[in-house]
Amino acid sequence: MTEKLFAVSTADALLIDPSNDTLVIKAKALLNSSMEQSMQSTDINAGRGSQLQFVYNSQKVLAFQIEAADFSPVYLALQTGSDIKNKMSKYFTEELVVFDASGKGTLSQAPIGNVYVESPANHVTKAPVGKEITDIAYANQELNVVYQYNVQVDELEIGANDFPKAYKLVLTSDIFNADGDKAYEQQIEVPRYKLDGALSVNLAHDSVAQFTMNGKALSDNDKYATVKWLPVNGTSVKVSSLATDVSEVTLAVGEKQKVITLGLRGGGYSNILMDNAKLTFSSDDELIAKFANGEITGVGTGETNVKVSDGKYTDVIEVVVS
């Protein structure tokens, strides 16, 4: 990954309940998805002039900002630490009721308790009989009536002592090259992600309510998160040179030795094991030694060089056959 790359997309987010390995939510309409690492530093100064001798780092924190544009009741459930239950519940409704010449109006649902009639002058509390409201003052009018009735709903109770729990968080985003082509998928996996419990439902006339799933990574076996890059669209892992696990080999006639070829990627990257099927093996003198599929074979006495190449880089091994 040495070419110029650009992370220009927001991520898709998965939250998985580790207790039963179930997918809780898949968020694909995020406005923002960011990761920020912070830590405390303590300077140790000593000597003449109180020179800085050492910096002690501690309290590393890996925090995430995740903001969704779409709505899901699950967002509220996650941040409140409560479950959504389907149950019969009292529900407020408002409907326009037509009153006849006798002042009688009929509601569409059976109300629970009193109803509230919005008359031209004020709101009046009435005690209905069944679904009917009767008052001669309402004769031949259409009035709004507010009341409660029983109905099956999904219900979330925000408890005073309920708090969010930890989930596995997976964020997947795109990485593009300088030509604008998608080159990699980036995936950040947090084994234990603790939501911060912050909840804000902003219902405004000129905007869409946004919901956050902000939180912090909890330590899991001394690890906060793992970041992975998957090459896509023909992108290959680039190396800066090849190196074999041996530079000199001494063999008897007929003796064989396996050779491991590594691709060196430069600073910040560990070496990768090269696939022999994608390499070319050759010998300067096959009467002395042959080199094929990562294996050197002694053929006849003498000294020669064998080579391995990926088409761009080559490594050479000195071979002595006695």
For the chain, the domains span 5-40+57-82+160-231, 86-156, 241-321
Q: What residues contact 132, with CB distance under 8 A and at least 6 apart? A: 104, 105, 106, 107
Identify residue 142 by its one-letter amino acid code: E
CATH class of 5-40+57-82+160-231: mainly beta
CA gap 219, 184 in Å, rounded: 27
Determine phi and psi for 75, rounding to 5 degrees. Answer: -55, -45
| pLDDT of amino acid 84 | 95
Quick count: other Cβ atoms within 10 Å of Cβ 43?
10
| pLDDT of amino acid 272 | 86
Closest CA to 143 of 107, 175, 180: 107
CA gap 322, 319 in Å, rounded: 10
Question: Three-class SS string for 257-280?
Answer: EECCEEEECCCCCCCEECCHHHCE
User: Which residue is listed with tokens 């911060």?
Assistant: 196
CA gap 124, 199 in Å, rounded: 35
CA gap 33, 212 in Å, rounded: 10
User: Which residue is listed with tokens 């569409």?
Assistant: 108
User: Which residue is listed with tokens 């009193």?
Assistant: 114
CA gap 274, 272 in Å, rounded: 6
Q: What architecture does CATH give domain 241-321?
A: Sandwich (2.60)
| pLDDT of amino acid 269 | 78
Closest CA to 291 of 312, 310, 313, 306: 306
Per the DSSP assignment, residues forming a β-bridge with 304 are: 319
Identify residue 2 by its one-letter amino acid code: T
Task: Determine if the pTM surpasses 0.85.
Answer: no
Helix (H), strand (E) at residue 297: strand 295-298
CA gap 277, 280 in Å, rounded: 8
Helix (H), strand (E) at residue 56: strand 51-68
| pLDDT of amino acid 259 | 95
- Tell me: the pLDDT tens digits for 154-200? 999 999 999 999 999 999 999 998 888 888 999 999 999 999 999 88
CA gap 262, 240 in Å, rounded: 11
User: Which residue is listed with tokens 């109300």?
Assistant: 111
Q: In which residue ranges of the chain is pLDDT below 50?
A: none
Identify residue 135 by its one-letter amino acid code: D
| pLDDT of amino acid 2 | 56
Domains 5-40+57-82+160-231 and 241-321 fall in the same CATH topology: no
CA gap 212, 201 in Å, rounded: 10
CA gap 258, 319 in Å, rounded: 13
User: Which residue is listed with tokens 């099927």?
Assistant: 277
